[in-house]
Amino acid sequence: MQYVKADESIRNLVGNYRGGELILSPSFQRGYVWSAKQASKLIESILMSIPLPSIYLYELMGDSDKTVREVIDGKQRLTTIIHFVLEKSPWNNGKKFRLTSKYPDLNGKTFNELTVEQKKKIYGTKLRTIEIPSSIDPEMKYTLFERVNVGSVSLNPQEIRNCISRGHLNNWLNDMAESNTCVRLMGNVEKNKRMERQDALLRMCLIQSEWNGRDEIPHLTKTRLDKFMRRHTVIEDKDMEPMFKSVSTALKKALTIFGEDAFKSPKGFDSRSLVAVVSWLMNHEDLVTTNGLGDKLKESLDIAKSDLDFQSASTRTKAGAILHYLDECISERAIRRDPIRRYSRTFAQKLFSESTDKACAICSNQIHSFDDCDVDHRIPWALGGKTSADNAQLTHSRCNRQKGMQVEYNG
């Protein structure tokens, strides 16, 4: 194992924190949860020379000469110690950290109210730190992270991915998880399991990338998700944009069609159903969900989720059942969007040249120059309008931009 072990003084660790070289609250960690009594007992233990458990740190890769480390295990202890020394409240109540102790010479004291000897004792106390270098093999990183999680709350698989598979995909998962769309679909983040939203979004991304829509939906094992996340740390940002757009669009469709409460439950949110629905919508991204189809899809999801066989099935079987129920809603008369969305400039030139009045279909004023001309759909493309000559109309470029969508499509 490629650990780097050291005994570091509390003075040094506090200095690292103040210099931005020690991150106490990386995004994968939970917040500070210790009570004042627990925190005070830790400070007492230091003053009584009671040995403390090791602190696990992870070295971040960076461009600067400064070494930055994140706390992997031992966050509650380090947060307690550093906030006490800096006379800050780890509970964010705006008050100084005062000890709650049965010992009169400690009770109610802040760090600066301790004796010189007591402060020296705290500053000089050394903690065993075990550092995981950023240069180790990716497979080994996962193994180490899983095994060093010996604290009261271990990191789950997505929290580990978030920590060591950094990059554009990871940033997008975290940003998208906080988006208004996800908040409305997935409910209050406090009721969600730690990084549950990011885990669901990662599953959607993998399905978008690897499922052809015909075979059985991929088995989303932990190993498969780990490898997908690692592989995308080195993929160019621009190459992932189509995947992000597809997932984001499908999530918005899911919100429009199924509403805010379809995927919520007393325990948080129904991640499995949402992933299955989004997968189906991505596979049918050209489908126009107007004329009652959206209502049929919503009803089918309700039927699937109330099916007793569905409730007792495995995760993969449940996803397959939802896909089957949704497929049953599609008839031969279903309207699909034209794969070609925009009219070519060659066609626009022909239409402009052949027009007698050159009137804008939106404002009715004359279009004086082809440079100011655009071609719009009479029946909106999003509502199934074809990108064809008989559905074309001349407009001013500015009018077409400002018009926007007159009818918001359901998805």
Encode pLDDT of 104-121 as tens digits: 999 999 999 999 999 999
Task: Answer yes or no: is pLDDT of 69 > 70.
Answer: yes
Quote the CA–CA distance of 411 and 409 in Å, as a whole number.
6
Q: Are 228 and 157 a contacting pair, CB within 8 Å?
A: no
Q: Residue 56: which H helix or E strand, with range?
A: strand 55-59
Encode pLDDT of 151-201 as tens digits: 555 678 898 888 778 789 999 999 999 999 999 999 876 656 788 999 999
- Shortest CA distance to 296 belongs to which of 257, 335, 250, 253? 257
For 148-204, the DSSP string reads: H--SSSPPPHHHHHHHHS-SHHHHHHHHHHTSHHHHHHH--GGGSPTTHHHHHHHHH
Question: Would you state the pLDDT for residue 258?
Answer: 92
Encode pLDDT of 366-410 as tens digits: 999 999 999 998 888 766 788 899 999 999 988 888 776 444 434
Quote the CA–CA distance of 287 and 388 in Å, as a whole number.
18
Task: Answer yes or no: is pLDDT of 207 > 90.
Answer: yes
Task: Answer yes or no: is pLDDT of 129 > 70.
Answer: yes
Encode pLDDT of 282-321 as tens digits: 988 877 776 678 888 888 888 887 765 555 555 556 777 7
Question: Would you state the pLDDT for residue 355?
Answer: 92
- Exposure string of 246-259, with b = 16+ CB inside 10 Å and e = fewer, is bbbebbbbbbebbe
* pLDDT above 70 coverage of the chain, percent: 85
Indicate the residue type of 32: Y
Output the CA torsion 108→106→95→127 (10° steps).
Answer: -160
pLDDT winner (highest mean) among 156-165, 247-256, 340-349:
247-256
Task: Answer yes or no: is pLDDT of 29 > 70.
Answer: no
Question: Would you state the pLDDT for residue 206?
Answer: 96
Q: Which residue reads 């050159």 in tokens?
A: 358
Tell me how far apart the 2 most distant CA atoms of the chain are, in Å: 97
Task: Answer yes or no: is pLDDT of 244 > 90.
Answer: yes
pLDDT winner (highest mean) among 18-27, 91-100, 315-324:
91-100
